[in-house]
Amino acid sequence: MINVSIIGGGNVAYHLIKHLLRIKDVRLVQLYNRSLESIHQFKEVVQITSDISTLKKADVFIISVTDNAIMSVSEAIPHSNCLVVHTSGSIDMNSLNSKNRKGVFYPLQTFSRQKKINFSNVPICIEAANENDYLLLQNLAEKVSKKVYRISSQQRQYLHVSAVFVCNFVNHMYTIGHSICKEHNIPFEILHPLILETAEKIKLLEPTAAQTGPAKRKDTVTIQHHLNLISTQYQKLYKQLTESIIRHNEKTL
């Protein structure tokens, strides 16, 4: 049995709590958040608190708060020589307070409270300051997910920026596409099969090999036609992305 306490009440914490409650070899000791409202729904199944000084000892404390609060929260944990980990993609493990043992338990996924997540398919990237703690985190991670990776703090920073490109920036492209469709009374759902096929294709092909479109073909007539169609607020971005695709494909020839 692994005893775990979770610190935080955001989207990552919410989904992690729900998943851990279903794992028989894991016991949630306590949940902490500054505002009880975010964790209030769990009060019937696990002890909740808004007073960090009342945290009981656990095998693993998982800090799942905003990046700029991780350091101060780790300092406020009222125990020493416990394993304390955070769930951030960009914060170095050594940012955690040194009174406790350090680690990282980073689930690489986009989390929204209103969207269910199958945690068993979420990659968990783990790191620890010593091998015994790594093995404990590995044991916990393998109970949570079928996909567990040993990733250093330096690797995780590059992984996180990659995730921003393939998730956050791509979603912004969806936002722009949605806006253009809406402006011209086109159902955005027409693009759903294209979006899904593009995502499926890169499971089989490297993204460079999967690239299609006017920039890949250097179809300057279509590119200029698109620029004439779209509003000025999107023209600069369209040009930058087009030039980036052209340059990248020239390098790979």
For the chain, what are the domain ranges?
Answer: 2-151, 156-252
Mark the ranges of the chain whose per-residue pLDDT is less than 70.
252-253
Which class in CATH covers the domain with range 156-252? mainly alpha
**What pTM value is reported for the model?**
0.86
Top-level CATH class of 2-151? alpha beta
Q: How far apart are CA 47 and CA 49, in angstroms?
A: 7
| Distance in angstroms (rounded) separating the CA atoms of residues 27 and 20 | 8
- pLDDT at position 253: 57
Q: What is the pLDDT of residues 70-123, one digit of tens each?
A: 999 999 999 999 999 999 999 999 999 999 999 999 999 988 888 888 888 999
pLDDT at 165: 95
Radius of gyration of the chain measured on its C-alpha atoms: 22
pLDDT for the residue 3 = 95
Q: Is 135 exposed, middle or buried (0-12, 13-18, 19+ CB in 10 A)?
A: exposed
- Whether the Cβ atoms of residue 49 and residue 31 lie closer than 8 Å to each other: yes
